[in-house]
Amino acid sequence: MKEAKILVVEDEALVALHLEQRLHMLGHTVVGTALSGTDALEQTAAHLPDLVLMDINLGRGISGIEAAQQINRVFDIPVVFVTAHSDDAILQKATAAGPYGYVLKPFEDSALRVTIEIAL
């Protein structure tokens, strides 16, 4: 497995920290953690990661779906959604953003590893 530089976008700090730890255990480098969609765009520009792991519901401001669309359009960097949302309406909106994967929380490390490998 290739080591990747990954940006984590998650508005819940404890969830983000847990995800970072799991990514390190899988051999990846976390280049930053963004707590909002706007922060995700800024950090993507600053770090140019290999991959962005994006929550969909980021609280106030632009959603993870909107941020993913902009990241795809401006930077052409793959985005994988890591979210607890699985209803049809959200899935349809997320699919329109062109993600490279969709991982439902809670997830196993193996599901995350395989999704990252495919996205890269």
Could you read off the pLDDT of 13-53 as tens digits, one per residue? 999 999 999 999 999 999 999 999 999 999 999 999 999 99
CA-wise closest residue to 43 among 81, 82, 14, 70: 70
Query: What's the whole-model pTM score?
Result: 0.92
Q: Please state the CATH superfamily assignment of the domain spanning residues 8-107 in this structure.
A: Response regulator (3.40.50.2300)
Separation between Cα atoms, residue 82 and residue 13, nearest integer Å: 14
